[in-house]
Amino acid sequence: ISRMGLLRRVRLRTGAIDWSLLKDGEVPRRYVEEFVVGSWDEHRWQHEVRFVASDRVAQEAVNELSSPAPEVRHLFSVNVPGLFR
């Protein structure tokens, strides 16, 4: 299984409800990992409770593929009244 496949398993095991790997159409060597958790508290649990030593090994193996180092961003969904009917 690939390094990203291992990381996918880690994300899902630790609470992600969805996971995907995206390739940038303008920068062919750039990939974006995206995963969804139910809440910010759930994400904190991923790091503080569910993340074990073998998960760290998988994360570090993926980070080795990246130059420069991966950039982490946290995005939150926004409810806009009247946008979806």
% of the chain exceeding 70 in pLDDT: 96
Sheet strands (E) in 1-85: 18-23, 31-36
State residue 78's pLDDT score. Answer: 86
CB 6 within 8 A of CB 58: yes
For residue 14, what is the DSSP state? T
β-sheet bridge partners, residue 23: 31
Q: Is the pLDDT of residue 85 over 80?
A: no
**pTM score, whole prediction:** 0.84
User: Tokens 């990246």 — which residue?
Assistant: 66
